[in-house]
Structure formats: C-alpha cells, structure tokens
Amino acid sequence: MKNVRIWFKKDGECRYISHLDLNRTMLRALHKSKLPIWHTEGFNPHPFATFPLPLSLGFRGVNECMDVKLEDDNYSFEEIQKKLNDCLPRGIRVFDVTEAVMKAGKIAFASFTMLVSIENKPSGLVCKQLKELLSLDKIEIEKRSKKGMKTVDIKPCIKKYSVTELFDCAKLDIILSAGSNDNVNPNLIIAALEKRTGEEYEVDITRNDLYNADMEVFR
C-alpha cells in the first residue's frame, strides 16, 4: 500500500463545481483510469480519496491536492499523472504526483489572490477601500454557526496582505488562517467590505498555496 498525493489545478469550467462534485468527478476518473486505488471495504465499496483542504465553488485552485492509496507500487508518479489526465475533464489538470509529506491536519494557512472591482469605477478607489478596511483594528463579520448567527472578528486570522492597483481591478494578495481550526473564507473579506461601503463588488479568487503553522509550504 502506498500513500500518494495528487496535485492538480481546478480552473475553467471546473471552477464552477462544488467540492462534492469535484469528489465525484475525481472518483470517476480514478475508476476510469484503472489505477489500483484502494477501495473502502464497507457495504458499497468505493475508491477512497481525501482532500486535505476543500476549495469553495467559484475559486480557481492552482495548487490543489488529493490523497489516495495505491494497492501496488508498480506505477511511477509520471504514469499516474498521465493516466489521470486522460480521464479528467479539461478544467482539472494533474501537474504533479508526490508522496504525502505532511499530514492534512498540519495545514494552518492558505494564500489567495483576489481581483476586486466595481463596475464602471476606478480601481484606485477599490484599492483605497480595501486598504482602509484591512487597516482597521477589528474586522467584524456575521458568521453562521450551529447556534445561529454570531459576530466574529477575522482580523487576527489575517497573517499578511498586500494591495496592488491594476489597470481594471485591485489585486489583494492575502494569507489567511486555514484548516480545521480557524478557517477563513476570503469571501468574508468582501462581505465585510460590502457592508462597510454599501457597494457591490466583482471578485475573482485564486487559491495559491497552503502552509503549515511555521509558514512552510504544504507538501
């Protein structure tokens, strides 16, 4: 038995499918590829795959990963990559296959690039609004929890950020808490911005990298 981490990009049409649909698409590709993926041994055996950190619908992912177990060691990483790509829709491309170096539970941060704009308004204005919001001492947002709505301050979850003015939008590079403890969806930043300014923003979000608590890139 061999644990394998499969690295892929999720973009194009596949950007618009949910995590559950991604899971289904991956399982079908694994089945079609005939790779010796370990199957669960329950009542309905199915190929077993886990995703260290699910990606929200609508985000582009350039460094996404999925873990599977292979039943024999006869396949090279290159072979796995090629076989899977032959079976996947064009919006999902495997670009690397590695061993699983870190455990999924080690993920603590994720970096995002967010392109933010308002229709027919200069990007300089959006930059200014973003900088003002992010320099506040507290950024409070309404979050749905099991006990109803509660107010959370996400400022402590922002590890690092920078705002750049581009021709048609503001570019926000930001590192946020991620993983099983304090996961922050970058859409919350936009929600906070909309609440503050009353404007409606268009946003294009890409998740770049995952990190552990020591800010080492997740491998």
Which DSSP letter does residue 90 get? T
Burial category of 152 from C-beta neighbours within 10 Å (exposed 0-12, middle 13-18, buried 19 and up): middle
Nearer to other proteins, 32 or 121 (CB): 32
Nearer to other proteins, 21 or 209 (CB): 21
User: Could you tell me which residues come within 8 angstroms of residue 6 by beta carbon, excluding any fewer than 6 positions away?
Assistant: 65, 66, 67, 68, 80, 81, 84, 94, 96, 97
Specify the pairing of strand 140-145 against strand 148-153: antiparallel
Query: Cα–Cα distances in Å, from 19 out to 55, 111, 143, 160, 165?
Result: 6, 19, 20, 27, 32
Nearest-CA neighbor of 66 among 86, 82, 47, 79?
47
Q: State the Rg of the chain over Cα.
A: 19
Smallest distance from other proteins to CB 96, Å: 21
Nearer to other proteins, 200 or 214 (CB): 200
Smallest distance from other proteins to CB 25, Å: 6
Nearer to other proteins, 60 or 211 (CB): 60
Smallest distance from other proteins to CB 102, Å: 29
Smallest distance from other proteins to CB 89, Å: 5
Nearer to other proteins, 43 or 73 (CB): 43
Residues that bind other proteins (CB under 8 A): 12-14, 16-18, 20-21, 24-25, 28-33, 39, 43-46, 57-58, 87-91, 202
Nearer to other proteins, 58 or 122 (CB): 58
Smallest distance from other proteins to CB 30, Å: 8
- C-alpha to C-alpha distance for 127 and 133, rounded to whole angstroms: 10
Smallest distance from other proteins to CB 134, Å: 22
